[in-house]
């Protein structure tokens, strides 16, 4: 946009994309009509960061830190992302999990300024018009939720907007996706949460969720409108309930550029962790037996990608699936149960019914994965039983936020005498056990979805494929150093997240170009090309 058309004066200071606050130079203050709106001192961005860090440190708890950071995001986007990129290990848990879960629970009470688009069931027939209201026309990625299954917290309705906002902050902070190319969307189809329906301050539709054909038509209109207004946009489905998540992914994955992070992103980060763990044990994936506590989006997505990797290593599909088992709320998923949802059936094997502990004893799994959102379910008896069967028990407690984690890092190491190879969905501090200091790995989807998204945008991929997620898992595991493995980490340090995301984006681009999923000419140096697309938060 020509300089003369950009906002000036008071309006300039209230545009978070263009605002520099006290960093506007003397010449810029004259040119842009800012005299009088700012105090006399001109500060560098480094000096502004000192002020922001001081303010952040004064906040009494993590939720208030989340509010503080969102306020910064609303007034100065460059400064917000510079802060986040400089300190990812410290600040990502505040911007996203685990803090964002509590923020979503209280979103209506914390609401200060809109971010993203709220599209309600009452907007049927005019969704494209609403999308055109968005002020930035070059949107490359949309994260969309209907708020039905927010983390492990359930139906939070329109309060689920905190998830798309947080995810897209990580698209920029982790992978350098240009902020104005991102759009958070909440599809407000009502809520079945009685507490929200009774809350006078709840800001979403005060009605039960629409279902069935009406719901499908609404989502269909949204997907079609998004591709009409933003051609080729990547759509990330986020925190949809099981009843809709699998169906929507199957409906759209071969028609538009889309993926479901809860199904596919979680699978890639879990498989990468397994690859890293097997570097420690010296074993092969094809020889493992996986038992998942949970049989929803995350668990079945993980099993699907494990099966894809095992078949690539030479097993048949049937052999690979037989090495993956699920436990749901009724116990071990077995073939004799006649009321199974479609996504569970591939992993319903011939076996006698058993509870979770019985399944561990009878199946003797080598890998235990928690993805049911039930805190504390990996109790002492579970972990000691599992550890008695394995020299190096691989324990992934993936549910988040922290309150929903199947066990803590301290419990995982302590109850296995320090033999566990552990990863969790939420961060845990280092643990002293058996004369060693263990740094637990966080199976954080932010290792995966930002890089996948950047790769899709950079290559203009028409679709996101399972092969891309398999390539992502291999690349992520390969990037873990021997030093990190020795400390107990099975994922790279978050301080390396931009490097990791660039490598993953290049791997995704490689698949897109190799499989004819892009009409762009393939750059000679994919990694250099990807790095050249990444946003850097500095003032012009």
Q: Are residues 242 and 281 in the same domain?
A: no
End of a domain among 256, 289, 314?
256
- Whose tokens are 């990625």? That residue is 141
Helices within 198-296 (DSSP H only): 212-229, 242-252, 266-281
End of a domain among 428, 445, 462?
445
Q: Is 184 helix (H, G, I), strand (E, B) or coil?
A: strand
Percentages (nearest 5) of helix, strand, coil residues in the chain: 50, 10, 40
- Decide if 80 is inside a domain: yes
User: Which two tokens mark 188?
Assistant: 């407000």
Host domain of residue 369: 264-445
Q: Is 533 helix (H, G, I), strand (E, B) or coil?
A: coil
d(CA 187, CA 218): 9
The pLDDT assigned to 5 comes to 64
Please give the average per-residue pLDDT across 48-57, as a whole number: 98
> Rg (Cα) of the chain, in Å, rounded?
23
- Decide if 515 is inside a domain: no
Q: Is 206 helix (H, G, I), strand (E, B) or coil?
A: coil
DSSP code string of 440-469: -EE--GGGTHHHHHHHHHHHT-S---HHHH
Q: Are residues 397 and 430 in the same domain?
A: yes
CA angle 17, 23, 26 (to 5 degrees): 115
Which run of H or E residues covers position 258?
strand 258-260
Average pLDDT, the chain: 95
For 210, which DSSP code? P
Asked if residue 329 has pLDDT above 50, the reply is: yes
Asked if residue 189 has pLDDT above 70, the reply is: yes
Select from 339, 278, 254, 329 the least CA-distant residue to 299. Answer: 329
- Decide if 229 is inside a domain: yes
Q: Are residues 321 and 337 in the same domain?
A: yes
Asked if residue 338 has pLDDT above 90, the reply is: no
- Decide if 79 is inside a domain: yes
Select from 438, 411, 437, 406 the least CA-distant residue to 424. Answer: 406
Asked if residue 1 has pLDDT above 80, the reply is: no
Please tell me whether the peptide bond between 224 and the residue prior to it is cis, using omega within 30 degrees of 0. no
Could you read off the pLDDT of 458-480 as tens digits, one per residue? 999 999 999 999 999 999 999 99
- Decide if 463 is inside a domain: no
Please give the average per-residue pLDDT across 93-113, as a whole number: 93
d(CA 470, CA 485): 21
* Phi, psi torsion values for 257, nearest 5 degrees: -85, 105
- Whose tokens are 């492990």? That residue is 152
Tell me the CA distances in angstroms from 269 to 81, 202, 207, 250, 265, one per residue in order.
Answer: 24, 34, 36, 21, 6
Strand residues in 2-135 grouped as ranges (E): 117-120
User: Which two tokens mark 417?
Assistant: 């005498």
Residue positions counted in the chain = 540
Q: Are residues 56 and 100 in the same domain?
A: no
Tell me the CA distances in angstroms from 427 to 94, 169, 210, 495, one per residue in order.
Answer: 11, 18, 35, 14
Number of domains within the chain:
3
CA angle 443, 448, 452 (to 5 degrees): 170
User: Which two tokens mark 234?
Assistant: 């990547």
Q: Are residues 241 and 292 in the same domain?
A: no
CATH number, domain of 61, equals 1.20.1370.30
Q: Are residues 232 and 376 in the same domain?
A: no
Q: Are residues 248 and 166 in the same domain?
A: yes
The pLDDT assigned to 162 comes to 96
Could you read off the pLDDT of 381-404 as tens digits, one per residue? 999 999 999 999 999 999 988 889
d(CA 186, CA 463): 22
Asked if residue 3 has pLDDT above 60, the reply is: no
Q: Is the dihedral of CA 158, 162, 168, 171 positive or negative?
A: negative
d(CA 82, CA 292): 38
- Decide if 460 is inside a domain: no
Please give the average per-residue pLDDT across 213-238, as a whole number: 98
Q: Are strands 182-188 and 141-145 parallel, antiparallel or unpaired?
A: parallel
CATH number, domain of 228, equals 3.40.50.10380
The catalytic residues are: 96, 167
- Decide if 517 is inside a domain: no
End of a domain among 256, 286, 318?
256
Which run of H or E residues covers position 298?
helix 297-312
Could you read off the pLDDT of 273-291 as tens digits, one per residue? 999 999 999 999 999 999 9
Q: Are residues 170 and 285 in the same domain?
A: no
For 281, which DSSP code? H
Please give the average per-residue pLDDT across 439-467, as a whole number: 96
- Decide if 502 is inside a domain: no
Please give the average per-residue pLDDT across 159-170, as a whole number: 97
CATH number, domain of 346, equals 3.40.50.720
Q: Are residues 72 and 119 in the same domain?
A: no
d(CA 483, CA 46): 32
| Proportion of the chain above pLDDT 90, given as a percent | 93
The pLDDT assigned to 402 comes to 87
Please give the average per-residue pLDDT across 37-55, as a whole number: 97
Please give the average per-residue pLDDT across 56-66, as a whole number: 97
Please give the average per-residue pLDDT across 194-200, as a whole number: 97
- Whose tokens are 């990129």? That residue is 85
Report whether 480 contacts 276 (CB < 8 A). yes
Q: Are residues 391 and 299 in the same domain?
A: yes
Asked if residue 71 has pLDDT above 50, the reply is: yes
d(CA 235, CA 232): 9
The pLDDT assigned to 339 comes to 84
Q: Are residues 418 and 342 in the same domain?
A: yes
- Whose tokens are 């552990």? That residue is 422
- State the pLDDT confidence band at 2, using cuts at 50, 70 and 90: very low
Could you read off the pLDDT of 73-88 as tens digits, one per residue? 999 999 999 999 999 9
- State the pLDDT confidence band at 237, using cuts at 50, 70 and 90: very high
Query: Edge-to-edge strands of the sheet including 421-424?
Result: 331-332, 324-328, 290-293, 367-370, 394-397, 421-424, 441-442
Q: Are residues 76 and 153 in the same domain?
A: no
């Amino acid at each position: 946009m020509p300089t003369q058309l950009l906002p000036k004066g008071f309006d300039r200071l209230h545009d978070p994309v263009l605002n520099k606050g006290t960093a506007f130079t003397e010449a810029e203050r004259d040119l842009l009509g800012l005299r009088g709106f700012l105090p006399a001192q001109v500060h560098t961005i480094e000096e502004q960061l000192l002020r922001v860090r001081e303010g952040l440190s004064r906040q009494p708890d993590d939720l208030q830190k989340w509010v503080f950071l969102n306020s910064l995001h609303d007034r100065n986007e460059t400064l917000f992302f510079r802060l986040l990129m400089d300190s990812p290990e410290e600040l990502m848990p505040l911007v996203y999990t685990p803090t964002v879960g509590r923020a979503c629970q209280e979103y209506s009470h914390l609401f200060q300024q809109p971010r993203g688009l709220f599209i309600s069931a009452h907007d049927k027939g005019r969704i494209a018009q609403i999308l055109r209201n968005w002020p930035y026309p070059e949107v490359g990625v949309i994260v969309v939720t209907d708020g039905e299954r927010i983390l492990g917290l359930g139906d939070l309705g329109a309060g689920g907007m905190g998830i798309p906002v947080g995810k897209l902050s990580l698209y920029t902070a982790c992978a350098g996706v240009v902020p104005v190319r991102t759009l958070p969307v909440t599809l407000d189809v009502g809520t079945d949460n009685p507490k929200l329906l009774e809350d006078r301050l709840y800001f979403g539709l005060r009605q039960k969720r629409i279902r069935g054909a009406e719901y499908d038509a609404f989502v269909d209109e949204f997907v079609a409108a998004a591709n009409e207004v933003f051609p080729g946009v990547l759509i990330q489905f986020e925190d949809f309930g099981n009843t809709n998540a699998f169906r929507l992914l199957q409906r759209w994955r071969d028609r538009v550029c889309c993926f479901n992070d809860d199904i596919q992103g979680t699978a890639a980060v879990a498989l990468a962790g397994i690859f890293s763990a097997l570097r420690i044990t010296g074993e092969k994936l094809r020889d493992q037996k996986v038992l998942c506590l949970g049989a929803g989006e995350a668990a079945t997505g993980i099993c699907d990608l494990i099966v894809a990797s095992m078949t690539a290593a030479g097993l048949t599909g049937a052999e690979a699936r037989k090495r993956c088992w699920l436990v749901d709320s009724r116990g071990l998923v077995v073939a004799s149960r006649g009321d199974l949802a479609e996504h569970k059936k591939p992993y319903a094997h011939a076996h006698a019914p058993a509870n979770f502990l019985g399944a561990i004893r009878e199946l003797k799994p080598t890998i235990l994965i928690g993805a049911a959102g039930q805190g504390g379910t990996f109790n002492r008896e579970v972990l000691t039983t599992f550890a008695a069967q394995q020299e190096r028990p691989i324990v992934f407690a993936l549910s988040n936020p922290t309150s929903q984690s199947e066990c803590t890092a301290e419990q995982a190491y302590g109850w296995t005498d320090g033999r566990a190879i552990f990863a969790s969905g939420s961060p845990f501090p280092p643990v002293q056990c058996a004369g060693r200091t263990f740094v637990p790995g966080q199976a954080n989807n932010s290792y995966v979805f930002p890089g996948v998204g950047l790769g899709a945008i950079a290559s203009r991929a028409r679709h996101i494929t399972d092969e891309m997620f398999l390539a992502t898992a291999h690349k992520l595991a390969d990037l873990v150093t021997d030093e990190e493995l020795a400390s107990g980490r099975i994922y790279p340090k978050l301080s390396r997240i931009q490097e990791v995301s660039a490598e993953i984006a290049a791997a995704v681009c490689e698949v897109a170009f190799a499989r004819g999923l892009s009409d762009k000419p393939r750059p000679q140096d994919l990694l250099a090309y990807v790095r050249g697309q990444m946003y850097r938060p500095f003032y012009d």
